[in-house]
Amino acid sequence: MPELPEVETVRRGLEPALVGAHFSEVRLARPNLRFPLPPDFAARLTGRRVEALSRRAKYLIADLSSGEALIMHLGMSGRFDVTLPDGRQVSPGDFYLEGALGQSKHDHVIFGLSNGARVTYNDVRRFGFMDLVSSADLATCRHFAGMGIEPLGNELSGETVARLFAGKRTPLKAALLDQRLIAGLGNIYVCEALHRARLHPEAPAGSLADAAGRPTKAAGRLATVIRDVLTEAVAAGGSTLRDYAHTDGSKGEFQNTFRVYDREGLACTARGCRGVVRRLVQGGRSTFFCETCQPRA
């Protein structure tokens, strides 16, 4: 599933085509994606101007002139193809199964825009979805109610990490994936951040706060490296695994700098370390780490 850096890459690619334009036409190939599309979906979008395009965790949000917000989630295989008026393709990043690129039978929603651009949502597995909610109710709608802080926002700090994790015996990896605490973190970047912070994935989350609830040095270190890893990944265009590439054929590059993720049995790349990357399963997901760099406390 695409993680925060990949979704941010998509947002940045869609922004020039969407923001400031009106939906001149909305065509639906089916009434549902993962969930049924909202009632009168096409009619509620047609003629509306896109005022802004933002991201919340792994969701895209288009603020509309109608006072509603269009919420979009890519699921596992969703992607957007953008065709500009002159026929050129922009590369917001797209997610697809091998061999599925260009299969128009999976084009489910097509947005025609007043600037002449066309944005097509293609989704092989149909795990993505779209919804319309009142902009005034965005923070409390079913998608975002109870969602945690943004890891690239100003809230993330050692103090915040200590406050969120204090008293928790949950493994650190699981706590970082809990969207109610920090929103948008996924398996790849949590593995990479824990390695940089030199923290064992099975350490108790509460160990990042002292007896008085104050942040340990490790808490501050973790907050810093989470931001660093995500920022670097966004700059690299995300990570290209089996299901990810850009619409122009280029790919994200961050996977070329993975230190532990998907490197089981290979030498740790940390300077001076002679350890080997190991794999364990937590909550049904693979965790990659170096026992030398990330020792148990």
User: 10 Å Cβ neighbour count for 27?
Assistant: 13
- If you ran DSSP here, which 8-state letter would residue 169 be given? -
User: 10 Å Cβ neighbour count for 43?
Assistant: 9
Distance separating alpha carbons of residues 24 and 85, to the nearest angstrom: 14
Tell me the residue ranges of DSSP E strands in the chain: 23-28, 50-56, 59-64, 68-73, 78-83, 89-90, 94-95, 107-113, 118-123, 129-134, 244-245, 277-282, 285-290
Residue type, 158: G
Q: CB of 148 within 8 A of CB of 139? A: no
Point out the catalytic residue in the list 11, 48, 58, 173. 58
User: 10 Å Cβ neighbour count for 94?
Assistant: 25
285 classed as catalytic:
yes
> 89: which 2 tokens?
């393709």
Most distant CA pair in the chain: distance in Å?
Answer: 62
3 classed as catalytic:
yes
> 205: which 2 tokens?
């989350």
> 177: which 2 tokens?
């994936």
Point out the catalytic residue in the list 34, 49, 198, 285. 285
Active site residues: 2-3, 58, 285
